[in-house]
């Protein structure tokens, strides 16, 4: 059995509970859906360091039809085949510029903004390189179901500048990557970005 099957079950139970609490009308059904949400929180608490009450508080904020969250990562190379990375203040490790998708912005707009905010560089988006399901890659477990979008961007200006989220900026060669923030990006994913750089005709990856 998949060692993270518990996480998939918890996500599915939370999804059923959230849909039921959104669209259900019968008071007894609503009580059952609330109980399902509590069970999901207990499963998550049993396998993480978070308290059940804290998880319940987070889950209760979610409403409407449940859909995956979207994480945008910008892929920027320099003329020496090095990839742009920023060191995250939250864990002291390095990632591609990016973050959660925001309402009201397109994928390309988010990539442009995240690069400028986190690194100081101005870019333009040119190609979707990958749309990956986070659970199908070796990231640490997360109770949200997440799609990760990798956008190839070309640098058009700006200069290196840190932010409240990043405290160092740099371009790195494929064989000299810094310690990675694996919550955000894995070594295999970055190596795949180099493959896309070397073979621009490659189709967009997915799943």
Q: Which positions ≥6 away from 167 have C-beta within 8 Å? A: 87, 89
Q: Output the pLDDT for position 16.
A: 92
Chain-centroid distance of CA 29 in Å reads 33
Nearest to 100 by CA among 84, 82, 85, 118: 118
Buried b (16+ CB within 10 A) or exposed e, 168-202: ebebeebeeeeebbbbbbbeebbebbbebbeeeee
3-state SS, the chain, equals CCCCHHHHHHHHHHHHHHHHHHHCCCHHHHHHHHHHHHHHHHHHHHHCCCCHHHHHHHHHCCCCCCCCEEEEEEEEECCCCCEEEEEECCCCCEECCEEECCCCCCHHHHHHHHHHHHHCEEEEEEEEEEEEEHHHCCCCCCCCCEEEEEEEEEEEEECCCCCCCEEEEEEECCCCCCCECCCCCCHHHHHHHHHHHHCCCCCCEEC
Domain boundaries in the chain? 5-60, 69-206
Asked if CATH classification 3.90.79.10 holds for the domain at 69-206, the reply, yes or no, is yes
Q: Output the pLDDT for position 198.
A: 98
* Predicted structure pTM score: 0.82
Give the pLDDT confidence of 138-163 residue by residue, as tens digits: 998 887 899 999 999 999 999 999 99
Q: Output the pLDDT for position 1.
A: 61
Which residues in the chain land under pLDDT 70? 1
Nearest to 200 by CA among 107, 77, 98: 77
Q: Output the pLDDT for position 60.
A: 84
> What number of other Cβ atoms are within 10 A of residue 117's Cβ?
16
CB 123 within 8 A of CB 199: no
Cα–Cα distance measured from residue 52 to residue 39, given in angstroms and rounded to the nearest whole number: 9
Cα–Cα distance measured from residue 31 to residue 60, given in angstroms and rounded to the nearest whole number: 14
């Amino acid at each position: 059995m998949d060692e993270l099957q518990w996480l998939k079950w918890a996500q599915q139970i939370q999804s059923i509970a959230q849909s039921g609490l959104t669209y259900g009308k019968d008071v007894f059904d609503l009580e059952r859906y609330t109980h399902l949400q509590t069970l999901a929180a207990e499963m998550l608490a049993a396998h993480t360091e978070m308290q059940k009450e804290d998880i319940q508080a987070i889950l209760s904020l979610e409403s409407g039809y449940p859909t995956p969250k979207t994480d945008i990562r910008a892929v920027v190379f320099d003329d020496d085949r090095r990839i742009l990375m920023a060191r995250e203040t939250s864990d002291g490790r390095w990632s591609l510029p990016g973050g959660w998708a925001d309402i009201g912005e397109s994928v390309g707009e988010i990539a442009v903004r995240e690069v400028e905010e986190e690194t100081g560089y101005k870019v333009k988006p040119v190609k979707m390189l990958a749309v990956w399901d986070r659970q199908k890659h070796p990231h640490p477990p997360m109770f949200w179901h997440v799609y990760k979008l990798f956008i190839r961007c070309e640098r058009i200006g700006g200069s290196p500048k840190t932010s409240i989220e990043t405290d160092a900026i740099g371009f790195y060669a494929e064989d000299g990557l810094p310690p990675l923030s694996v919550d955000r990006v894995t070594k295999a994913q970055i190596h795949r970005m180099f493959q896309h750089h070397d073979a621009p005709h490659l189709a967009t990856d997915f799943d």
